[in-house]
Amino acid sequence: MSSNYSGTSQSPLPPDIPKSRLNSFFVGTPSYNNDKDYAAFASLSAPLNMFFLICLVLHTGYLMAFSLYKIYVMVMFDIVGVILFATFVVLLKHFKGSWLPCTLLTITELYLHQICCIALFGLEPGFQYLMIPLMFLSVFISSKKSRIVVFLRNTITFIASITFIFLLVYFSEYVPPYNMHSLVNTSLLVVNCITSFLATAIYAGRVVYSIDTKRSELDVSVDEKIAAIEHMQNQIIISFANIIEARDGNTGKHVIRTSEYVQALVMELKERGDYSDILDDQYIKNTILSAPLHDIGKITVPDAILLKPGKLTEEEFKQIKNHTINGKKLIEGSMSAIENADFINIAKSVALYHHECWNGEGYPYGIKGEDIPLCARIMTIADVFDALAAKRVYKAAMPISEVFSIIRSERGKKFDPIVTDAFLAIEPQITAIAQSNAD
């Protein structure tokens, strides 16, 4: 990872500090948002913070206007409102769970404030439009655990909606006790309409953004869990394969080596563009995952035959050859619950056909050429290479240079020519795998 650190001290830039603090004050989220027990409400913190600040600014403006007209009832009302919303901003930043009482008090204060304003000044200044963000705000009060909270939310939404309709109908010809200058009325109407729109839009936008962020986090979490499950599944497969290989004296290194040979080989084939119509990412992944299961059928071979140091009889060799067919059956039976049909099919092909030869002289069916599935042709060369290069209970390890000579000589006979060329092209990589995972 590259770094831009030069080793010299750098002084902070003072202008950035106020900007960062201001940004955090308006749209930042409190630290307790990261608590797991608060996750369900974390998306509400930022939009509520902005909503309280809008109410704070709005009530400060009202306070100045009503002070100018010496309407002391509303002056006192707005002094309380300014103190309340300033307090709510602080509480929301520092006290987990404060969002609920603050939101309920906000709805109550806004509701009473607008009713009083309309009773004093009528509909002309547009105070009734602030019922819209009030209705919108209450919709986002949710709680899966408390029926009381849900009831309060529904009640608030209903009352705010009915009140909004009632005000428009009943107060349409209402004569208010206070008449303000038409310019002030128009100014308040514009401010209230803009505030109503902005409060609703900003709050909705922040909630949608928070929901999208939460959805992205959930997607990442799901992907991580899927990856963890796949890793666990892979480890189970490898462990199962190691148990089977241990029966004939092999260590778990055989499974590791052959799997790494297969991985290196399929990646080389893809890089060269060979069999591009078959080797997509999913096929490559399933082939690599299937490699440890190629000899799963050996579990059905008796120890007396599997561990026999001498030459096998014709009947014994027949039982050995049957491990391919039995392997396919075991995969069909033991892995039927796995929903990945592509993986199951490739795993069965690897187990069944990995002893078939390009020239048709292999077993169990003696098929040849491209009738043999590509995944099995890849497994064949990896398995043979390891069988020759590794030490077994009945033979010593063959020098790797000689093994590559045999592989080269079997091109077009035992092995697919294209697969053989790719395998030989990565000789240094194959050698490194063999040496780093030697028994």
In tens, the pLDDT along 219-243 reads 777 878 877 777 777 777 777 776 6
Is 3.10.20.30 the CATH classification of the domain at 247-436? no
The mean pLDDT value of the chain amounts to 81
**CA angle at 214 for the pair 209 and 218, rounded to the nearest 5°:** 150
Residues 232 and 228: their CA atoms lie apart, in Å, by: 6
Close Cβ partners of 309 (under 8 Å, ≥ 6 residues apart): 393, 394
Per-residue confidence (pLDDT) for residue 385, from 0 to 100: 96
- Looking at residue 301, the DSSP 8-state letter turns out to be S
Long-range contacts of 315-322 (CB under 8 A, 24+ apart): 321/355, 321/363, 321/364, 322/297, 322/364
Please answer whether residues 423 and 265 qualify as being in contact, where contact means their C-beta atoms are separated by less than 8 angstroms: yes
Highest mean pLDDT among 210-214, 394-398, 416-420: 416-420
Lowest mean pLDDT among 139-148, 224-233, 276-285, 399-408: 139-148
* Residues of the chain above pLDDT 70, percent: 80
Question: Which amino acid appears at position 412 of this protein?
Answer: G
pLDDT at 142: 58
pLDDT beyond 50 at 332: yes
Give 287's contacts (C-beta < 8 A, 6+ positions apart): 262, 266, 346, 350, 375, 378, 379
Indicate whether this model's pTM tops 0.75.
Answer: no
- Rounded-to-integer distance, Cα 285 and Cα 294, Å: 15
Q: What are phi and psi of 14, to 5 degrees?
A: -55, -40
- Could you give the residue range(s) of every CATH 1.10.3210.10 domain in the chain? 247-436
Nearest one of 318, 376, 323 to 346, comparing CA atoms: 376
